[in-house]
Amino acid sequence: MVHECDTTDYMDQLSLSTKSARGGQIVPTGGGVGAEIRGLDLRRLDEEGFRLVHRAWINHQVLLFRGQHLSAGELIAFSRRFGTLEVAPNQETGQRFVEGHPELYIVSNVIENGRAIGSLGSGEAHWHTDMSYLTDPPKASILYALEVPPSGGDTGFVNLYAAYEALPAALQARLAGLRVKHDGTYNSGGYVRHGLTATDDPLAAPGELHPLVCTHPESGRHMLYLGRRRNAYIEGLPLPESEALLDEIWTYATREEFTWHHQWQVDDLILWDNRCTMHRRDPFDAMHRRIMHRTQIKAETRPSA
Ligand code: SIN
């Protein structure tokens, strides 16, 4: 299990490579967000170990666990420790996922018997927060790698606390009280969501309004909450003004120094805090197979300032 260090402040310990007494080791990625937890089998995590993993997740926002060997049921069981799971949204095809496991969403380019077994194909997936076009977006997502291409398909994460903190004070003040529309038309791969009509008019596009600056319910820290750039619209502003302000904010939100990019291996599992990060995916060669299972955990509270 992972052990909390008992000598100095735990937050300080987590900023270093931390070797626990009995196994788990928390190693920051060295990028702008995230840490790897080494030496843990997620099928055998006791209550104390889980508490420390949870704490590391709140502190580092994104956690990588390599070398896990999880069945669909074990992935769901680990995910459930964080809260109630979402029923996975429909794939672009309108199809539903894995027989017997409504919580599992498949991200894949694989075609079997003429049908896509998952979503997002092999193209680039643009920066986004999962399902923030809903009133109650999930608080966390977990992605588990079953098959990966030899190159490409890396997933990047960005730290939205750091992005908010980098804004000049005048810009922070300008954003206070503003809400942004999180487009529901397209998924991050640019596919129109099932049952919706394509539009590139941010005023007309369907979506949910959330505060542009939110307070994290567990850490108490402020972060930018942007969702995705396409069809975003800042409530009440003339469209050109909204576009200009969003462009300015997005230059901070995607600064390389706030990011970390992961090159996947089979049996890697990544857990991210969907409230204070965004993620994106590099394209990869469509001739190679990539199959990932994803679960999502419902939030207890709505995004709020
Ligand atoms: C996603 O955008 O949720 C999937 C990311 C990935 O396929 O790496």
- Interval between CA 125 and ligand 1 midpoint (Å): 7
The pLDDT assigned to 219 comes to 97
| Best mutation site among 97, 292, 297 for ligand 1 pocket (most ligand atoms within 8 Å of CB) | 292
- Give the E-state strand segments of the chain in sequence order: 18-19, 25-28, 35-38, 62-65, 105-108, 111-112, 115-116, 119-120, 125-128, 140-147, 155-159, 179-183, 207-211, 213-215, 222-224, 233-234, 259-262, 269-273, 277-281, 291-297
Supply the residue whose CA is at minimum distance from atom 3 of ligand 1: 130
Residue in the structure block whose two tokens are 């104390």: 48
Q: Is the pLDDT of residue 9 over 70?
A: no
**Res 1: pLDDT:** 44
- Can you tell me the mean pLDDT for 3-14? 36
Which protein residue has the closest C-alpha to ligand 1 atom 5? 281
Kindly list the protein residues whose Cβ atom lies closer than 6 A to any atom of ligand 1.
Answer: 107, 120, 125, 130, 155, 188, 279, 281, 292
Q: How far is the CA of 193 from the centre of ligand 1 (A)?
A: 16
Q: In the predicted model, is pLDDT for residue 128 greater than 90? A: yes
Mean pLDDT along residues 6-35 = 63
Per residue in 221-258, pLDDT (tens digit) is: 999 999 999 999 999 999 999 999 999 999 999 999 99
Q: pLDDT at residue 17 above 70?
A: no
Query: For residue 167, what are its two tokens?
Result: 């804004």
State the distance from the centre of ligand 1 to the C-alpha of 263, rounded, in angstroms.
Answer: 12
Task: Give dist(CA 216, CA 162) in Å, integer.
Answer: 13
Cβ proximity of 76 and 61 under 8 Å: no
Which ligand 1 atom sits closest to the C-alpha of 279? Answer: 2
Question: Cα(155) to centroid of ligand 1, in Å?
Answer: 7
